[in-house]
Amino acid sequence: MAILVNRLTDNFAAEIRGVDLSQKIPSGDFADVKTAFEQHSILVFPDQPLTDQQQIIFSERFGELEKTINSKKQSGAGKPVTVLTNVGKDGEVIAPEDRRMVFNTGNQMWHTDSSFKPVPAMMSLLSGREVPSEGGETEFASMRAAYDGLDDKQKHELEHLICIHDFAYSRSLIDTSLLDREDRHELPPVRQAMIRINPVNRRKNLFLGAHASYVEGWPLEKGRTLIIELNRHITDNKYIYKHTWKRNDLVIWDNRCALHRGRPWQKIDKRVMHRTTVVGSMTV
């Protein structure tokens, strides 16, 4: 049976049915999934109960997987599956004021995964293993639709700009003490193009988010003002898709052209998400 692709918004995001990702899907169906990914940027696969190994196998069909850094902060670090959870080893909900939970509030800022690395991520795949009864949604913003929404003069002015993306900068917006000297050494600032081009369909998009610290060659405050204005433009409601999680949803997104953020939820509820991330390519 051919896969079914249902658009979720006018700009981007689609739901995919007709596949069982716990099994190796036929090459023709996988080609259709890749085509839908390049077109829609966000794909939602409902009712996909996966083991970590099944998630890894499906993810690896798209390319090499990242291994997580910051081993002191995240469960699963150094492995291809990152566990984003508020559940401790004792099975109880971790207190919101726990340093691990404070660190993870960074996921509630608009960002694109691994833009703070020299080679940023191409795709992330997030599996909802345990989801809260209310809240905890993930919102996505289309940097492609936002670029299309700029006028020609703005597009021309931004065309060759370089942004410095810095994990320490984005985390300092939460708490300046969240990263120590070792963390900062492991994650030095990197250069990223402000405008990216999709290698398949050649469509352009902005490439920003919370990790974007300043504009290379510009006065610091002038560059940060531009970044703030563009991030505000990208996250206008008309460019957003909000995903309300159901258990065993798998959502995959294109980090090259979409920002995302997690939303708050009642901290008495458990939230356990398993993420794999596909390596992308350098932007400069």
The HSE-up count of residue 257 (CA atoms within 13 Å, CB side) is: 27
Q: Are strands 4-7 and 14-17 parallel, antiparallel or unpaired?
A: antiparallel
Could you report the per-residue pLDDT of 8-29, keeping only the tens digit for each?
999 999 999 999 999 999 999 9
Rounded CA separation 159/193 (Å):
9
Which residues in 37-177 belong to E strands, given as ranges? 42-45, 82-85, 121-130, 138-142, 162-165
The domain ranges of the chain are 4-279
How many residues are listed for the chain in this entry?
284
**Mean pLDDT (whole number) for 115-122:** 97
pLDDT confidence band for 70 (50 / 70 / 90): low
pLDDT for the residue numbered 183: 72
pLDDT for the residue numbered 211: 97
Exposure string (b/e) for 175-185, b if CB count within 10 Å is 16 or more?
eeebbeeebee
**Residue type present at position 204:** K
Q: Which two tokens stand for residue 173?
A: 């917006």
Neighbour-count burial of 203, counting CB atoms closer than 10 A to its CB (0-12 exposed, 13-18 middle, 19+ buried): middle
pLDDT confidence band for 75 (50 / 70 / 90): low
pLDDT for the residue numbered 161: 99
What are residue 191's phi and psi, to 5 degrees? -95, 135
Min mean pLDDT across 70-79, 135-144, 183-192, 205-214 is at: 70-79
Q: Are 42 and 145 in contact (CB under 8 A)?
A: no
CATH of 4-279, one of 3.40.50.300, 3.40.50.720, 3.60.130.10, 3.90.1150.10: 3.60.130.10
pLDDT confidence band for 105 (50 / 70 / 90): confident
Rounded CA separation 212/263 (Å):
21
Rounded CA separation 231/81 (Å):
29
State the average pLDDT for the chain. 93
Could you report the per-residue pLDDT of 166-218, keeping only the tens digit for each?
999 998 888 776 777 777 778 899 999 999 999 999 999 999 999 999 999 99
pLDDT confidence band for 71 (50 / 70 / 90): very low
pLDDT for the residue numbered 58: 99
Look at residue 72 and tell me whether its pLDDT is greater than 60: no
Q: Which two tokens stand for residue 123?
A: 């795709």
Q: Which two tokens stand for residue 8?
A: 């979720």
Look at residue 73 and tell me whether its pLDDT is greater than 90: no
Q: Are 208 and 179 in contact (CB under 8 A)?
A: no
Could you report the per-residue pLDDT of 227-267, keeping only the tens digit for each?
999 999 999 999 999 999 999 999 999 999 999 999 999 98
Nearest to 167 by CA among 153, 182, 179: 179
pLDDT for the residue numbered 74: 52
pLDDT for the residue numbered 182: 77
Could you report the per-residue pLDDT of 151-170, keeping only the tens digit for each?
999 999 999 999 999 999 99
